[in-house]
Amino acid sequence: MMRDRAAHAGAGGHVSRPGAAASAGEPASQMAEHWSDPREEIEISVLMANGRLAPRRFASRAEAHAWAHEDEGERVVEVNAICDCDS
């Protein structure tokens, strides 16, 4: 296990994780590239007639509309998956 971590370690032997905060030595421009506002991470989904979200992801609103059975009460929604709040 330790050998695997060492193989993936960055400078200074630290393992970098996606979404991890930038180190103090990293330029501010690189920090800005990694950060995204979680309030803006919106996904398109389908709210099914039973009140649950569709068990799949959609690449576009058009794809979600094509998949939804709107005549059966399903509707396309925008969901913030990070905070579980509709937008």
In the predicted model, is pLDDT for residue 78 greater than 90? yes
Residue 54 located in a structural domain: yes
Q: What is the pLDDT of residues 33-69, one digit of tens each?
A: 778 888 888 899 999 999 999 999 999 999 999 999 9
pLDDT at position 50, please?
A: 96
Tell me which residue range forms the domain holding 59. Answer: 42-86
76 neighbors 64 (Cβ within 8 angstroms): yes
pLDDT at position 28, please?
A: 62
Residue 73 located in a structural domain: yes
Domain count of the fold of the chain: 1
pLDDT at position 61, please?
A: 96
Report the C-alpha gap between 42 and 33 in whole angstroms.
18
Residue among 39, 85, 67, 84 nearest 76 (CA): 67
Residue 21 located in a structural domain: no
Residue 24 located in a structural domain: no
The pTM for the full model equals 0.55
Residue 7 located in a structural domain: no
Residue 47 located in a structural domain: yes
Residue 51 located in a structural domain: yes
